[in-house]
A and B are shown apart, each in its own frame.
Chain A
Amino acid sequence: MNDFTYLQATQAKEATSAVRDNKGAAFIAGGTTLLDLMKLNVENHDQLVDINMLAFKGIEPTADGLRIGALERMSDVGEHPLVVQNYPAVSQSLLLAASPQLRNMASIGGNILQRTRCGYFRDTAFPCNKRVPGSGCPAQDGENKGLAILGTSKACIATFPGDLPVALAALDAVLLLENAKGKQRRVPLVDFHLLPGNTPEKETVLEPGELIVSITIPAATHARKSTYLKVRERTSYAYALASAAVGLDVQGGQIRSARVALGGVGTKPWRSPEAEKILTGAPATEATFRAAAAAAVHDAQPREQNRFKVELAQNTLVRALMELAKA
């Protein structure tokens, strides 16, 4: 870790302009990813701008959904009655993530920005296009069991590691962003993360100095009837090998609307319009779910060690849908 200065911002403007004006600066909220990566020298910032004093708080109903301040902690959001009741997939995704200690620290804005656990990214002795653009991607022919099969490129197959953003992607969440000029814009979560392509170092649409202010999730039947299923190598405190956030509105055995996103298999939270298209209007049966799952991984490009994820992602999705349909 290098030496850095610390600024505690009390106004959004103070924070955003500090980070915009200094390429070496970074925001810090819970710090659960940032400090980890700084200790590994994967990120090297000369200034940390503490945003915990900012007013990006609150979990409150809006006219058509729920608004969550970006600085709310994972544990508070995951256990909030409105989230538990109206967005079970969101609650479950949070409570199945990390450990209680980490959830008590980590902000949900930071959680959306969590960086990959790819072992090549996290060790500066390896080449890594995400960390050092143009240096190469040894993961392609290396230890890639945990890495992505969807949205990959020749430059990068790093998995997006988070859980919450997968649920948010499924349930049409929209992020409110604010830049250093005080200008705000709304970006759907599905458009917030970028595919690696040839520029895996660029992970989101955030401009320098831009902050996540809040997240809104629209109310919907498929949000109230949603679930998050996470498959991992141990029962707690592990990243997903595959996960599925699904929402279903079923009436008289027919699916009126469906929401599907996959985690642990994509380079970003992986919303699947292909699966949703098959589900919508179809009978809520295992055959339908199987067809939807096949569509969701149609474009998968597995490597040697992560081939099993093609099957696992489908089974995870089918299981999640079956459980929802039964409930």
Chain B
Amino acid sequence: MENEPAFFETSPKPNVVGKPLNRVDGRDKVMGRAKYAAEYPLPGLTYGVLKTSDIAKGRVQSIDTSVAMKEPGVIAIFTHENLPKLAKTPNDADGKKAIGAPMGFMPLTSDMIYYAGQPVAVVVADTFERATHAARLVRVNYAADKPIAAYTNPAAQLFNPEKIQDGKADGHTRRGDAKTALAGAPVKLSATYTHAINHHNPMEPGATTAVWEAPDRLTVYESTQGVTRTQKALSTMLGLPQEQVRVITKFIGGGFGCKGSCWPHTVLTVQAAKAVGRPVKLVLTRQQQFTSMGHREDQTQTLNVGATQDGKLLALVHTKTSTTSPWDNYAEANSKIINLLYDCPTFESSYELARANVMTSTFTRAPGEAPGSFAIECAMDDLAYQLGIDPIEIRLRNYAEKDPSTGQPWSSKSLRECYARGAELFGWSKRNPKAGLTRDGNTLVGWGMATASYPVHNSQGTARVRLYADGHAVVQSGATDLGTGTYTVMTQVAADSLGLPPEKIRFELGDTKLPTAPNSGGSVAAGTVSSSVYAAAQDVWERLTKIAIKDPKSPLFKAKPEDVAMENGRLQLKASPAKGEDFMALMKRAGLDDIEGTGQGKYGAGYETGRPGNPAGPNNNTESAGKHSMHSFGAHFCEVHVDPQLGTVRVTRWVSVHAAGRILNAKTARSQIIGGSIFGIGAALMEATARDPNYARYTNADLADYHIPVNADIPDMTVEFIDEHDPYINAMGVKGIGEISMVGVSAAVANAVFHATGKRVRDLPITPNKILGTKAV
């Protein structure tokens, strides 16, 4: 850490960092100039369309492509019988690990059918319409078996996995003797929480355009949250050196986790392009989106709470049961947040899985923390009501001054300030302590709140700065802008780091030809990439300083490098700032048109310990490797109007206050918190994918019947940030806000519903059928 100077020290007064700069890519987006993965009009482009399985379990007995092949424009149809083999598949554990695949199964490698919607053929034609039509004409005969649809099926076999989430989290955790503590606790609560299947449903579905530039060289325009991870997966599966696969993602229409991995449709597109010798573009239909890129799994959690009469926690015992695929032990790690959110001396958690005929579920915004916080934050609310303690007060009584799960001190924690400011903005002090008593016409009014928290994962990245003598710079890092503002905030960081106005900076991202950056996921992008950009700029200044102190014509001639500082693009002596010069003058004198610097930014425990990590690897469970536990914290406050006769719940007021280290752009950060909160309100009130219990097939796989919030569902939202200085997490002091915005949201809504009605709904989403029958207390 000592070796890496921090932004705080070198730039105590940021000029544009933190300011509400407008999006630098906003104009291109509204003008239609921003190109997405399916928008590259390449010469000779062909169109790929998936044919997917009608059954959820069984075998393909035969496929007849003869009729489809005769259709005009059809170039090729690939099935498991004729698709060229991959060098490596994720069908075995070693392959899966080498590829970094999200799912231990690659379709079209055999005649086996494991889930409804599994690809069984890829049709390539000269137009999208012809490919779509031909796919319909492909005749598939299935030998169907009876599928298992979910863990709730009585025939499902439950098991306790040793590891969950692809081996990244423990299936069983124990701290102290929670069961004994629970048995002896004066106050006990036990409740079960159910979460529906949720789909990410980004506006832009999965999309791939694959171009083989040479028989062993591939370019893929891909809708992905991580170009490098996709590059690694594809090169491993194809048996190519990694650098011979180029992945480009300049813009992406939302991801939310489903684009955090390389999924089968991308691989099939690449294989098809190779086989037909022409570029192939494949875009998932909305229906296919539901069975191609994972989902948040259907799950039930039971949380047992033991406490004193004063509301002090004594024991937490948590279990989770959920559905996984035939191959993988995937479960969101819900228990992590439950283990650390409050000061509780004992804790125990375990996971139970059932294999079913579904594809593998995957990270969905705040994986684990979102549903986990629903359980713990509803339970804290229940405890508060049962003991007659204000919900904020009970949280303060259990305030964790260090991380209870590891015993580490926090790198920073401003949760008290979040509670206080949120309560003030919301008017919490006027809350009626009794539930079910506030009426407004036909509706009952309720207020609820919940805590949010999200870890600073261990991550690192790289960036390159090329500074030109004419006073502008190109800054590059192979990150992804999920639409949240990466282009913009990195422009700001580069501007301050180089002492230039933001309009003199061009920031480039989304290409494996650029310096490697991590996936934009797990809230790591802002902190990792900004630190990398900052470090690369520091490298430029070091190089320029070396030139200056050797240049007899420079005012800094013979100065010691450590005595030189950069201020607003000027190199000068720390002790006497008047002695120095502008970098442009220096570079011109030295005959330099440009100068390049590179930097590596570490984020999380790696920054504190100085240990290397794999920038493009999956989020590894090494957050606790350093001295400190690193988390962002926040609080959501919610008002609902519940119509107990019609069952409708409307969110009418919303306040979110977060402390997440340095906020790089006040405007894009506010938007991101609003977006995440709406994502959470969707999960709380309406989002649920229905899977038929007998056919293991979704029955509402479109955006008319899978409900996400519309404008009319969302009130004006108040968002604030608490100023927070954290020197331990990275050079920029940035924690990231992609996930925390949604953590605790469903609990805040459910707690408000309870306050309104006196009825506790623990089954998400809280749709009208679950409210009906509610009488005012």
Contacts and interface: CB of A to CB of B under 8 A. Distances in A.
Contacts of B698: 119
Interface string A204-235: 00000000000000000000000000010111
A319 B443 CA distance: 12
B773 A311 contact: yes
Contacts of B645: 315, 318-319
B707 A236 contact: no
B713 A234 contact: yes
B694 A138 contact: yes
Contacts of B116: 125
A321 B568 CA distance: 70
A192 interface: no
27 contacts: A1-B129, A3-B133, A41-B136, A119-B698, A119-B705, A120-B699, A125-B116, A125-B697, A126-B695, A142-B695, A143-B700, A145-B690, A146-B705, A233-B685, A234-B686, A234-B712, A235-B713, A236-B710, A236-B712, A238-B704, A238-B707, A305-B769, A308-B647, A308-B769, A315-B772, A319-B442, A319-B646
A316 interface: yes
A237 B772 CA distance: 22
B709 interface: yes
A102 to B, nearest CB: 10
Interface residues on B, range: 35 or more
B767 interface: yes
A241 interface: yes
B35 to A, nearest CB: 25
The 8 closest A-B pairs by CB, nearest first: A119-B699, A235-B712, A125-B54, A308-B769, A143-B690, A315-B645, A143-B699, A236-B712
A109 to B, nearest CB: 21
Contact of A234 (B55, B709, B769): B709
B186 interface: no
Interface in B689-738: 690-695, 697-702, 704-705, 707, 709-713
Contacts of A2: 133, 136
Nearest to B700: A119
B707 A234 contact: yes
A238 B713 CA distance: 12
Interface string A4-17: 00000000000000
B232 to A, nearest CB: 35
Contacts of B704: 117, 237-239
Contacts of A120: 692, 699
A308 B774 CA distance: 12
B709 A308 contact: no
B646 to A, nearest CB: 5
Contacts of B768: 231, 233, 241, 308, 312
A241 B699 CA distance: 16
Interface of A: 1-3, 40-41, 117, 119-120, 122-126, 138, 141-143, 145-146, 231, 233-239, 241, 305, 308, 311-312, 315-316, 318-319
A146 B136 CA distance: 29
A253 to B, nearest CB: 22
A125 B147 CA distance: 14
Nearest to A118: B699
Nearest to B647: A312
B694 A142 contact: yes
Contacts of A125: 54-55, 116, 695, 697
A315 B646 contact: yes
A315 B711 CA distance: 26
Given A231-B648, A308-B647, A143 B767 contact: no
Nearest to B771: A308
Given A119-B690, A142-B699, A311-B773, 5 more contacts: A138-B695, A145-B690, A235-B712, A237-B704, A241-B768
B687 to A, nearest CB: 10
Interface centre among A125, A138, A241 (most CB of B within 10 A): A125
A231 B649 CA distance: 11
B292 to A, nearest CB: 15
A120 B692 CA distance: 9
B440 to A, nearest CB: 15
Contact of B647 (A119, A138, A231, A305): A231
